[in-house]
Amino acid sequence: MASSSSSNKSSFTELERKTLTVSEKIYDAFINHRGPDVKDTVAFALYESLEEKECWTFLDDQELQLGDLIPSAIQNAIYSSKVQIAIFSPGYAESSWCLDELLLMLKTKAQFIPIFCDVKPSDLRYPDKGVYAPAFAQHEEKGRFSDERLHQWKEALHSSSLISGYEFSTSNENVERLCTKIALAVQKEDGKMRNAQQLCLSSCVCEILGYLIRSITQRSDLHAEAATSTTSTSAQVKVCSLPPRDSHSVGIESKVEHMVGLLEDPGVQVIAVVGMGGSGKTFLLQNVFKAVKSKNDYSIWLSISKSYSLENLQHDIASHIGKQREIVDNKVSKERAAELIHDHLLGKRCLIVLDDLWTLSTENSLIDKLGLPTDKDCKVVISTRNRQVALNSNARIYEMKNLSDEDSWRLFCVYAFPNCVENRAPLLMEEEGRKIVKQCGNLPLAIKTIAASLANTRLLSKWVLKRRQLERVVTTSGGHDPVMEILKLSYDALPAYLKACFAYLSFFPEDEEIDSEYLINLWIAEGFIPAGEDQWDLGWDWLDQLDQLCLIQVCERGDGSYLTKYCKIHDLLHDLAIHISKENRCALSVEEVSRHTSGATGWCRILLAKKGLHVNPISESRPIYLRTLTLSQNEQIASIPDNLFTTIRGLRVLDLSFTDITTLPASLGKMILLKLLNLKKTNITKVPKCVRHLKGLLFLALPLCCRSLPVWISELKSLQHFEGWGIDPMPKGISKLASLRTLRAFFNLSINEDEFMRLGDVVSMTQLQELRLILNHDMELERMEEGILAQLLRMRRLAIRNNIKGTELPQFPENITAMKQLEYLLLQRFVVPRWICKLTNLRELWLQECSDYSELERMPNLVGLYLNKDKSCRKLPEAFGKSGGFPQLRFLQITNFSSLEELPTLEEGAMVCLEQFLLFLCPKVKKVEGLEQLKRLEEFSFYDSGMMSNWWKTLYEDGEYWKKIKAINPQVNITAI
């Protein structure tokens, strides 16, 4: 619930709310409980959870104020609440207050939610016989209450036992998870109430507007104008959203300008940006890199981890400068690689960024060892926390100063008040907010994480508490890095389920770009995300929460097949995740594997991603508690010891990708708890028999060299994600996997052979969300037109290739619009239907060998559009370049349009979000008009696209059109490949 839940609530600030009496408030929820049993555990945790979701909640000691008449205040709170929550505990019936409140709660028409905390519903159903019998015996013995009242209490308990609720054990279960469930239930009920109110209000408004229009019509002939006015008014709804991810570029402009000036100084070759962790060094260099990369022959970014490899850095450079074959494939020595790099870069304009270099052993010679020239044309920029690194590198030092007080406050407001107009802080919150910013030491990372943690908090008391925590951290850091302690506060404020997900990030190497989808699969395999149909969506929601709290950064890019979301984590936050994991003995880091094997038995996650490490120490240490093991990226591993899995019984995740193994030991079949098995990029040519015994497997990824599946694949009933790009045709047995959500393989449908998949078999997989099919017969197309495929209502990614012979392209059937959740669509050899704009959730569209591209510009949420292989199209629709078209498009690629002669002129306001425009193998295109209108364009690349014409030459550096575009958008990179 992003906004307040009632008009009463939205009318008040939090400070004003504190001045209201209970009788003046309308509550979302009332919590009935016995204090000595659950006050400090379930009751208060539930109150906090509901308040964080902006649900006004009554909990006696939190809401009652001095001077309130307690009985009448409680009665008013009960009757005004939309949801009644009763926490039944073992001592509940001892309290007459609890029982009287229960009577009142059941008399209201509000939703009633019982929580059976350390008791069972049967205990309430028979209060004379269960755990409540002694309490009622004592009430009768004292004689304070009438028999009628005792009977009413027992009837209330009996009635409560018949209402569906939550059973909860304080000793075995997670209170945060319980609170989340109940908070969602309260939100849902509040949403129903609000919708009913809105319907009633809308009805009243319509009547009033109707009356006014009729009155105006009677007086003059202005009926049409009144109707138009009414329509436009109804469309004036402004939706507030969270700030874009680049909105934290506060106070960066002058620093970028200064750095660019240093790079243009011919007397400066090496620049070192020096500053403490979290001061924004990397963010500054990212902006500088973007500003100047198009001016160089080569612009290369290298992230230097704590345990960087000189060989890997050289390989990265080789891939950027086209020396992959000479250096990587030929496996030359480091010395020879340095020579080849040096000779190739000598005399060329280069920018090399070495981000986060902070070790003292080799940095003074690293530039030479990499092979970087030392002339004025090759600029090297280093970011480091260690001033000695800069001095040893003979660099021009640029001190990374902290933000000013005002810039710090502006940055804080962006994240703390995302839904306020222009991110302005409410006056009552500003004083406390500025104190918090001061305690963050004007460091951007600390400011962002603390501000984000307060973004949904409107209780001033919580702001005061956060400020006091910061003061305590800063004054007691004792010489330690205070930033790390400040970040720890953000971690401590996380709910338990997010703490586990964040700590799991320690499992990945520093500076790695983590595939978001794979990360969620790992969370599911580990058991972090509760099982259920919404498990996958819940994982994305949790990832988004970590992103909004600035503990990770989720990014999106096109990788050649579909838009990929990946996440990155700041070095300091990664250090924090490692620290937390070590405290809990959760993960053994890369560097510690070989020297801690004797004590590895107590660890539950081991990462062997560093090349050169072997699996033998793991098998020798017999880590019986191991849950996750990855040998990924170790190409020297060709086999797995037979005894590796003999003692490991709790393994959930096994990642063997990018190794040279050819088979798996039979002992793997005993890993009955295994949920994820990743065999991508291995040399396994057929599925090992031991996999058949892994009945609980959720995720299975096979290498491309594996061409077939065994019949018993249908026995893996729990499988949700299957990846096997080499499998074709697909065995019919896989259609029996009712839980399958992702079928990541391109395969031909069968017509005559019963043992392979037919179109009708696909429909039985009702949970399917991703599917790729190749059609080879008219019969399959006819069945699609009949709507057989449209039954897969959960589909999110769909690809259909048409291999049916014929000169005319078929129409794609409209019934596919039933797939309301569709986000990705690939069509090959179809006429593009004009109804395609009805797919309002579609974010990515690939059209290969298709025709008719009308109406595409009307697709409201399209992010990526890829047009490929059209031999007949001479001109794209003019609407492509019209203002307002493609409102969300970020990636546009047009490839192999051999007859295309003209692209539509881009008007101002067209493709306003476009970041990347690739135009390849379109030889008849003579020019592109309106590129200067694309204010957000970061890259325009072209190849064999009318390059011999004089107009294209104006797009080269110092060309007329190049200068025009650069004057408006200096950060765009224009490249002729």
Complete DSSP assignment for 73-128: HHHHHHHH-SEEEEEE-TTGGG-HHHHHHHHHHHHSSSEEEEEEESS-HHHHHSTT
Looking from the CA of 441 toward its CB, the CA atoms found within 13 Å total 21
CA distance 922 to 924: 6
pLDDT for 609? 45
The two tokens of residue 363 are: 């940095």
pLDDT for 867? 95
What is the longest distance spanned by two Cα atoms in the chain? 105
pLDDT for 607? 54
Helix (H) or strand (E) holding 352: strand 350-355
pLDDT for 166? 87
916: phi then psi, degrees, rounded to nearest 5: -135, 130
Cα–chain-centroid distance for residue 725? 26
DSSP single-letter state for residue 811:
B
**Sequence-distant (≥ 6) Cβ neighbours of residue 444 within 8 angstroms:** 248, 250, 278, 279, 280, 283, 403, 411
Proportion of the chain in helix, strand, coil states, percent, rounded to 5:
45, 15, 40
Taking each helix axis as running N to C, give the angle between helix 147-161 and helix 96-107, from 0 to 180 degrees, rounded to the nearest 10: 60
Q: Mark residue 622 as left, alpha or beta (left: phi above 0; alpha: psi -120 to 50; beta: remaining).
A: left
Label residue 333 exposed, middle or buried (CB < 10 Å: 0-12, 13-18, 19+): exposed
Is residue 352 within 8 A of residue 378, CB to CB? The reply is yes
Cα–Cα distances in angstroms (integers) from residue 726 to residues 465, 559, 690, 706, in the given order: 57, 20, 20, 6
Q: Which of 186, 196, 178 is nearest to 28 (CA)?
A: 186
Quote the radius of gyration of the chain (alpha carbons, Å).
32
pLDDT for 169? 84
CA distance 572 to 443: 13
CA distance 744 to 703: 12
What residues in the chain have per-residue pLDDT under 50? 1-19, 193-247, 589-591, 593-594, 596-601, 608-612
Cα–Cα distances in angstroms (integers) from residue 356 to residues 570, 825, 919, 930, in the given order: 11, 40, 35, 39
Q: Which of 467, 486, 471 is nearest to 277 (CA)?
A: 486
Label residue 923 exposed, middle or buried (CB < 10 Å: 0-12, 13-18, 19+): middle
Q: What angle do CA 934, 940, 946 make, to 5 degrees?
A: 115
Active-site choice (51, 63, 94, 101): 101
Single pTM value for the model: 0.68
Find the length of the chain.
Answer: 977
Preceding peptide of 729 cis, ω within 30°: yes
pLDDT for 881? 92
Taking each helix axis as running N to C, give the angle between helix 310-321 and helix 334-345, from 0 to 180 degrees, rounded to the nearest 10: 30
* 957 catalytically annotated: no
Which residue type, as a one-letter code, is found at position 933?
Q
Helix (H) or strand (E) holding 431: helix 427-439
